[in-house]
Copies of this chain bind each other. A is one copy, B any other.
Amino acid sequence: MGKLVIQKYGGTSVGTTDKIKNVANRIKSYYEKGNKVVVVVSAMGHTTDELLDLAERVNPNPSKRELDMLLSTGEQVSISLLAMALEAIHVPAQSFTGAQVRIMTDGNFSNAKIQAIDDSKIRKALDEGKVAIVAGFQGIDQEENITTLGRGGSDTTAVALAAALKADECEIYTDVDGVFTADPNKVAGAKMHEKISYDEMLELASLGAGVLHSRSVELAKNYDVVIHVRSSFHSNPGTLVVSEEKLVEKVTVSGVTIKKEEARITIPDVPDKPGIAADLFGALAEEDIIVDVIVQTSPENGKNDISFTIPRKAIRNATPILENFCQRHQTGKMQINDKIAIVSAVGVGMKSHVGVASRMFKALAENNINIEMITTSEIKISCVIPEEQGQTALKAIHAAFINNN
């Protein structure tokens, strides 16, 4: 008895017509074992960038509705080519746009959230013995406007389909072998996980180490969909993303990451009164500036020092907002340090292990790395350090927790 399998292939996996043929052959091997296969694909390689370039030339600031209309063509090209490639090797296939399988979203163009999926057309195609190929990244709102789901949207499409169809497996094919304890290109001893929990994956995703985008992991967690992250270049098993209960061994630290190209902003002598943080970070959020680490010192004479990190490339947009804030609240002079990095250790085992933070600090101290800021969550510790020492820090923390386990 065959399974119902969702397979998602990203842009690099379908980057050329030859790669599309490879994907078709891989799908065929699953199909021929009697499985029902639903495939989600992204746009081919650089298609999205090429479309954005066209848009830029006619309008540097296009409406998001029209941008979504434009970008959604990328996946439509991929699904039809993949269906043709399957037909060429005698596998019956049928492609579907987001609109055709009514992937209903809210009307938040360029970053829409899936609200419902009508699986009837897909089920019909599967019952007819076809492989169903669904365009990732796209949906429609109540007025049938085309929407897109934002970064990593195709992963979200795959997980949403797995939930809607109650699929037996949800495989996310990518250009890496699975989820590692650290980027194997940066840390020689990095190990691949057999399993990792949703929460750890979420923390790693938000740190930019994301093989998967946060929203797809959140959705998988909510609907208890096991995600199988694996390589599209071979058939090695990869990593399963599962609920915490399914982890046999809860490791203290499952991942170490580094985020570069960040800047630290410090505003001294901020009046200690309600609403002041909301004022500051609300203004930054309005300009879509992502604030990561935030540290506020304890009040002293009714004044706080507030430090936080933003992406380095956001400094230019942030500066007038921050200067305005400083003037309105008569703070001290804002300081910017644009030579920092953020190293983080993530692991569900932290909840039950003591001394994790001190072990991390010790590893940094032994390498003469000064810690400028520290934040912790239940399963994550992040330190802001000088950027030039980032690589050393990453290796030291990885060695302390993972290679020395």
Chain A interface (Cβ within 8 Å of chain B)?
A: 17, 20-21, 24, 51, 54-55, 57-63, 65-67, 69-70, 72-73, 76-77, 79-85, 87-88, 93-95, 97, 99-100, 121, 144-146
* Besides A58-B81, A62-B87, 16 other A-B contacts (C-beta < 8 A): A17-B57, A20-B58, A21-B58, A24-B58, A51-B77, A59-B87, A60-B88, A61-B88, A65-B94, A69-B76, A69-B97, A70-B77, A73-B77, A76-B76, A99-B144, A100-B144
A84 touches B99 (CB 8 A): no
B79 touches A76 (CB 8 A): no
Q: Which residues of B contact A76 (CB under 8 A)?
A: 69-70, 72-73, 76
B51 touches A66 (CB 8 A): no
Q: Which residues of B contact A62 (CB under 8 A)?
A: 84, 87-88
Determine the distance from Cα of A88 to Cα of B17 in the docked complex, in whole angstroms.
Answer: 35
A69 touches B63 (CB 8 A): no
Distance (whole angstroms) from the CB of A380 to the closest CB of chain B: 40
Determine the distance from Cα of A288 to Cα of B79 in the docked complex, in whole angstroms.
Answer: 28
Determine the distance from Cα of A59 to Cα of B95 in the docked complex, in whole angstroms.
Answer: 15
Distance (whole angstroms) from the CB of A234 to the closest CB of chain B: 22
Distance (whole angstroms) from the CB of A308 to the closest CB of chain B: 35
Determine the distance from Cα of A146 to Cα of B94 in the docked complex, in whole angstroms.
Answer: 12
Determine the distance from Cα of A319 to Cα of B24 in the docked complex, in whole angstroms.
Answer: 37
- Residue contacts A-B, CB under 8 angstroms, 20 given: A20-B58, A54-B81, A58-B81, A58-B82, A59-B84, A61-B88, A62-B84, A62-B87, A62-B88, A63-B87, A66-B95, A67-B80, A69-B79, A69-B95, A70-B76, A70-B77, A70-B80, A70-B81, A76-B76, A100-B144
By Cβ-Cβ distance, the 7 closest A-B pairs, closest first, are A70-B80, A59-B88, A59-B84, A69-B80, A17-B57, A62-B84, A73-B73
Determine the distance from Cα of A258 to Cα of B344 in the docked complex, in whole angstroms.
Answer: 75
Residue of B with least CB distance to A18: B57
Of B24, B59, B144, which contacts A85 at CB under 8 A? Answer: B59
Determine the distance from Cα of A54 to Cα of B16 in the docked complex, in whole angstroms.
Answer: 9
Determine the distance from Cα of A27 to Cα of B189 in the docked complex, in whole angstroms.
Answer: 62
Distance (whole angstroms) from the CB of A332 to the closest CB of chain B: 43
